Amino acid sequence: MIGTLTALIFLPALGALAIALLRGDRDRADAQARRVALTFSFLTLLLGLWLLGRFELGEPGMQLLERASWIPALNVQYLVGVDGISLFLVLLTVVLVPLLLLVPWEPVRENYRLYAAMVLLLETGLLGVFLALDLVLFYVFWEAMLIPMYFLIGVWGGERRGYAAMKFFLYTMATSVLMLVAIIVLYVQFGTFDLLALQGTAMAPARELWLFLAFAAAFAVKTPLWPFHSWLPDAYREAPVVGTVLMAALMSKAGLYGFLRFGPTLFPNAFGEMIPYLLALALVGVLYGALVAVVQGDLKRMVAYSSLSHVGLVAMGVFAMSALSLAGAVLQMISHGLVIAGVFLLLALLAERFGGLRPMDAYGGLMHFMPRLGALALIFVFANVALPGTSNFVGEFLILVGTFVAEYRVYAILGAFVAVLSAIYMLWMTQRVFHNPPREELRDRARDLTAKEVALLAPLVLLVFWIGIYPKPLLQRIEPSTEMLLLNAQARVEQTLGIADPAPDLEDTLTQAQKEEGR
Amino acid sequence: MEFVWVVLILPLVGALINGLLGRRMSKRAVSGVACGSVGVAFLFAVNALLGLLRLPPEERVFTQTLFDWIVAGGLSAKFSLLLDPLSAVMLLVVTGVGFLIHLYSVGYMGEDRDYSRYFSWLNLFTFSMLLLVLADNFLLLFVGWELVGLCSYLLIGFWFTKPSAASAAKKAFVVTRVGDFGFMIGLFLIFATFGTFDYFRVFEEAPQVLAYGGALATGITLLLFAGAVGKSAQIPLYVWLPDAMEGPTPVSALIHAATMVTAGVYLIARAYVLYELAPVSMAVVAAIGVATAFFAATMALVTHDIKRMLAYSTISQLGYMFLATGVGAYAAGMFHLVSHAFMKALLFLSAGSVMHALGGEETDMRRMGGLRTKLPYTSTVFLLGSLGLSGIPPLVGFFSKDLILEETFLSGNTTLWLVGLAAAVLTAFYMLRGHFLTFYGKPRYDETKVHPHESPPVMLWPLFALAALTVFGGILWISFLNFAPFEKFLEPVFEGARLVGEEEHPAALSTGMLVLLSVLAAGVGIGIAWLVYLRGVTVGEGLRRAFRPLYTLLYNRYYVDELYTALFVVPGRRLSEFLAGSFDQGLLNGIVNGVGRLVDALGGALRRVESGYIRAYAAWMLVGALAILIYLYLR
């Protein structure tokens, strides 16, 4: 009997397999591959919605658990489950992938079958990462994301695709091997890879710290956390748009999700100890990304650095570890995914019209020629500056206010300054590209969006507004799980404090915890 | 009263209809939707007011929760509306003046190709402003606050193909965001202190939670004031408002004179309970207010641009409102807000009528003159507005401005009062100077090309309505036979305030004397303007030369824009360029690539692999990992 989650995870992979079996005339096979890919991704979407329906409200723990033995000799299990933290990441994935497959303008003339199969495999990898509860299973999916992404950049990327793909691959691979070693060490000590069983085990402080750092390395590169972002501008710029969206909207969430899922659960003491440093890195990323974005002349690079800044803010919410900041961080993961997907899709539409993206200053007055594209662009611009009414405001405000009440006041205050910086770079870009005198030489190519293209972006716009105006359905499901995560971590820290001398910053964490509960 | 949500929703519906379908609708239909939605909203607002008036004064508070907005981890911000005398006043101004300006726009924007876009955004603004004033908690107020900022951006940059307009829009948004940064931290502090954003819970607990004059009370109120300084264009963040005149003139009237820029005053009046606990903040508000009132007025003295003159005047008048709230005269501040909304909307719309008459976007008063005979109606209403703003009785501005000066004097701070009085002289001078330059003397426009004509009725009627409000609006304040409608109406809102003058300062001057002095101030200003610009009295050459440097300083707006560029823009850019260049691409990227090359150099045997066989890499890593695994398992 195959459970909902298993079906969800492997349905896209099944689609990829079906595509691999397609034979015959290239054009026909490509057309068929497109239909197959769309069918499977839509079925996955339906399954995701069904999952949402089955998800029990108010239940903080793992739901729809599926457990089977996989490699008995090593006690490796096939263990998957969903809670309020992973639920919406799964939904984000199943919503975005069909939209991406619908993108008609992608210059994927050669080898469409391989391309579609890679997108579907990546979807399986992502879903697996968000749902796996066994460390080996998690690691397998984690690495499984890497290979399709490497191909997406390396085969269908821009001019410097080889360099970008290699850098991306090596950087992430090198750090995820550290995670693998840590997983093995955990196994050697406790004899299991089961996350649910490992939760609540205690280990020597020094070892806990090192193991956490090994995990953190993998997550920090994937997110990316400053200063581990060197692969990001190149990869975002060189990847085909669909690849960029998958990286920015979904894969970066895998890193953040990793921090959130494993940090407080497996290594509560080490995590607590590292919080000030992690917060500092996140904060630097927030401001640094925004400052660097200001002077970018290339649209994709600007969005890449802007994304570094936004992702840094989510990381801040994760590290601040207050009820508000965690709920905000999970919500903001979804929101950032939607917004950045919209932004990159718009860039793809622009690129399609102008035969590739031009530097910002080569545009001008596009709003005049393309009012529909301009209007959609404005919506995403203002979502990016976290204007109230858009989903980003809800997420970022919760993160900042949560960080503030967690007594990391300076971090919250400095982080809030991004409201000014993001307005500067987004609006400056808007002026240079969409406002200012229209350039006559652009007129011929500046076709406005077709109804179909608007329809493609419409779901993203609607979701951005919906979450901005009525986030309750999300928060209701997210919060019990983040709350439980928080309480468990605090209980573990208290437990440790009972036997060891309390380190000063752990004490801080504790008093916060009490305050939080009191409220 | 139960229908107060309708007031809020109608303009939003109008904005959506015009925004989504407007391009396929006739201009008539577009204007019908836009004006109709705001007009009906005004009727509902009047209905809400009547509903309030039917209740006994102390029960005039009505809240309505529409839905839960953000509820998480102890934070509960509901989408709820609050109708009380304070929000009712704002409601009437926004929908009433707003309706007149919508109507006027039908004529003014009649020829624009983006007619429906204009009205869609104007309606969206009305919705946002109503949300700001109807919110029943700080967070929802902040939503309206940011949304009016968005609409301001969109409408300043309405003619976005003009680089100056696009830049002005961006500047407005960014500069106000600097203030909003403070505002946001104020919100964090409020939440950290009270665990809620709800007005009433905050105000109820404030006296117990915040120590009188304590750091927390001062901090919260100053941070909120930072937001107000940005939005209401006070020193040091006023620089965006003069540039905002790039927008269509009715937009300047509605957003940048009558409503949005007064949001800061509303905020302080709304949160007065907190300010009462922070005397230092009160002093800061009053000082910045009066300084801005004077400082902005000096810049209005020399500008040749009629809209910029009105913009400086707006900044200056907003300063008066802050002065009033800073000395605790909240009702007086609110009354000046209302009276200024009437007068300044009137002045801007008249200026628009002049520009319209001169065939479009002419704003330079050096190319006007002698328009009195060609534009008799516009000239008359402009004069009424100018005299009103100068504080000539019995126009509404006399009552409101005199009141502020009087209450400032009674608060015992003579310096504030003197500066305010001096600014009043300047106000009268620059307003009449503007009037004389525009409507008197010889025509200085090209008479062969431009044939000025009076505006169409759809533009004139709103002017007449605003003129009538300017002339008769004073009735709202006159207290004869114990009938002082405005003050009485707001009384329950501000009942916790220490009444100005209660402390019994030795009244060096009687009330009558004060009134006389402020009228005299206006008279002096008008008199000088009359001498210089109508009688052509020229000052001596020596005096002129002596004032030359001062004139240059004023004409260049004290070089404040240049100063900010040098202090913030240029160093900020340098920092960004350094980070993006040598640091990010040079150092960080260099390290990563360097490690790659190092590995490459170390293993000559690996060279083959390095050239791109990713599968080999993956295989090697997997082999390595498996080796560790097997070793550990067998150990």
Q: For residues A103-116, give the mean pLDDT.
A: 74
Read off the DSSP letter of residue A357.
P
Q: For residues A479-490, give the mean pLDDT.
A: 92
Check residues B311 and A163 and name the one with the higher pLDDT: B311
Q: For residues A231-257, give the mean pLDDT.
A: 91
Element (H, E) at A69: strand A63-71
**Cα B188 vs. chain centroid, distance in angstroms?**
23
Distance CA B268, CA A352 (A): 51
- Which residues are registered as beta bridge partners of B71? B76
The answer, yes or no, to whether residue A312 has pLDDT greater than 90, is yes
**For chain B, percent of residues with pLDDT exceeding 70:** 91
Q: Does B462 touch chain A (CB under 8 A)?
A: no
The answer, yes or no, to whether residue B480 has pLDDT greater than 70, is no
Q: Does B160 touch chain A (CB under 8 A)?
A: yes
Quickly state the pLDDT bin for A392 (edges 50, 70, 90): very high
The answer, yes or no, to whether residue A289 has pLDDT greater than 60, is yes
Quickly state the pLDDT bin for A81 (edges 50, 70, 90): very high
Angle at B298 between CA B294 and CA B304, to 5 degrees: 145
**For chain B, percent of residues with pLDDT exceeding 90:** 71
Which pLDDT value is given to residue A105? 57
Which residues of chain B lie closer than 8 angstroms to A170, CB-CB? 596, 617
Which residues of chain B lie closer than 8 angstroms to A365, CB-CB? 160-161
Q: Does A104 touch chain B (CB under 8 A)?
A: no
The answer, yes or no, to whether residue B225 has pLDDT greater than 60, is yes
Which residues of chain A lie closer than 8 angstroms to B158, CB-CB? none
Distances (CA, A) of B505 to A240, B324, B413, B536: 75, 17, 10, 45
Which residues of chain A lie closer than 8 angstroms to B624, CB-CB? 177
Which residues of chain B lie closer than 8 angstroms to A301, CB-CB? none
Q: Which stretches does DSSP call E strand in B167-215?
A: none
Identify whether the C-beta of residue B151 lies closer than 8 Å to the C-beta of residue B117: no
Per residue, the 3-state secondary structure of B396-409, as one string, reads HHHHHHHHHHHHHH
Question: In angstroms, how far is the first alpha carbon of chain A from the final one?
Answer: 45
Interface test with A, best of B79, B127, B141, B146 (most A CBs within 10 A): B146
Task: Indicate the burial class of B484 (C-beta count within 10 angstroms; 0-12, 13-18, 19 or more).
Answer: middle
Q: Does B159 touch chain A (CB under 8 A)?
A: no
CB-CB: which of B177, B577, B591 is closest to A420?
Answer: B177
Which residues 120-139 of B are in CB contact (within 8 Å) with A?
139
* Sign of CA pseudo-dihedral B405, B411, B414, B420: negative
Chain B closest-CA separation from residue A425 CA (Å): 10
Which pLDDT value is given to residue A260? 95
Q: Does B602 touch chain A (CB under 8 A)?
A: no
Q: Which of A61-65, B289-293, B533-537 has the lowest mean pLDDT?
A: B533-537
Q: Do A423 and B67 touch (CB under 8 A)?
A: no
CB-CB: which of A154, A389, A420 is closest to B181?
Answer: A420
Q: Does A395 touch chain B (CB under 8 A)?
A: no
Chain B closest-CA separation from residue A483 CA (Å): 8
Q: Do B633 and A420 touch (CB under 8 A)?
A: no
Distance CA B613, CA B621 (A): 13
Quickly state the pLDDT bin for A502 (edges 50, 70, 90): very low
What mean pLDDT value characterizes chain A? Answer: 90
Which residues 40-79 of A are in CB contact (within 8 Å) with B?
74
What mean pLDDT value characterizes chain B? Answer: 89
Structure tokens at A262: 């494993």
Element (H, E) at A431: helix A418-433
CB-CB: which of A169, A417, A438 is closest to B181?
Answer: A417
Quickly state the pLDDT bin for A358 (edges 50, 70, 90): confident
Which structural domain, as residue segments, surrounds residue A186? 4-518
The answer, yes or no, to whether residue B605 has pLDDT greater than 50, is no
Q: Do B70 and A170 touch (CB under 8 A)?
A: no
Total of domains in chain A:
1
pLDDT digits (tens, 9 = 90+) for A418-454: 999 999 999 999 999 999 999 988 888 888 999 989 9
Q: Does B516 touch chain A (CB under 8 A)?
A: no
- For A353-362, letters b (16+ CB in 10 Å) and e give beeebeebee
Q: Hey, how many other C-beta atoms are within 10 angstroms of the C-beta on B606?
A: 15
The top-scoring range by mean pLDDT among A253-262, A484-493, B539-548, B553-562 is A253-262
Task: Spell out the alpha helix ranges (H) of A65-160.
Answer: 84-102, 112-131, 135-156
Q: For residues B242-250, give the mean pLDDT.
A: 95
Q: Do B71 and A188 touch (CB under 8 A)?
A: no
Q: Does A435 touch chain B (CB under 8 A)?
A: yes
CB-CB: which of B191, B572, B633 is closest to A405?
Answer: B191
The answer, yes or no, to whether residue B425 has pLDDT greater than 70, is yes
What does pTM read for this prediction? 0.93
Q: Which of A266-270, B94-98, B481-485 has the lowest mean pLDDT?
A: B481-485
Sole residue written with tokens 């196994």: A187
Element (H, E) at A80: strand A76-82
Which pLDDT value is given to residue A25? 82
pLDDT digits (tens, 9 = 90+) for B16-35: 999 999 989 999 999 999 99
Angle at A101 between CA A98 and CA A106, to 5 degrees: 150
Q: Does A397 touch chain B (CB under 8 A)?
A: yes
Q: Which of A306-315, B124-133, B343-352, B405-414 has the lowest mean pLDDT?
A: B405-414
Which pLDDT value is given to residue A501? 47
Q: Do B174 and A427 touch (CB under 8 A)?
A: yes
Distances (CA, A) of B404 to A364, A435, A497, B265: 48, 43, 61, 14
Domain-wise residue ranges, chain B: 64-82+182-498+506-532, 560-634
Chain A closest-CA separation from residue B69 CA (Å): 6
The answer, yes or no, to whether residue B74 has pLDDT greater than 80, is yes
Q: For residues B78-103, give the mean pLDDT.
A: 95
Q: Does B184 touch chain A (CB under 8 A)?
A: yes
Distance CA B548, CA B570 (A): 30
pLDDT digits (tens, 9 = 90+) for B249-307: 999 999 999 999 999 999 999 999 999 999 999 999 999 999 999 999 999 999 999 99
Structure tokens at A279: 């917060």
Which pLDDT value is given to residue A11? 95
Which pLDDT value is given to residue A519? 43
Which pLDDT value is given to residue A159? 83
Q: Which residue of B has its CA nearest to A437?
A: B161
Structure tokens at A47: 């399954």
Q: Closest by alpha carbon to A372, among A465, A262, A447?
A: A447
Distance CA A392, CA A479 (A): 17
Q: Does A394 touch chain B (CB under 8 A)?
A: yes
Distance CA B438, CA B416 (A): 33
Q: Does A410 touch chain B (CB under 8 A)?
A: no
Q: For residues B528-549, give the mean pLDDT.
A: 82
Q: Does A288 touch chain B (CB under 8 A)?
A: yes
Distance CA B33, CA B392 (A): 39
The answer, yes or no, to whether residue B475 has pLDDT greater than 50, is yes
Which residues of chain A lie closer than 8 angstroms to B628, CB-CB? 180-181, 184
3-class secondary structure, B236: coil
Interface test with A, best of B75, B128, B598 (most A CBs within 10 A): B75
CB-CB: which of B163, B192, B592 is closest to A405?
Answer: B192
Q: Does B628 touch chain A (CB under 8 A)?
A: yes
Pairing of strands B62-72, A76-82: unpaired
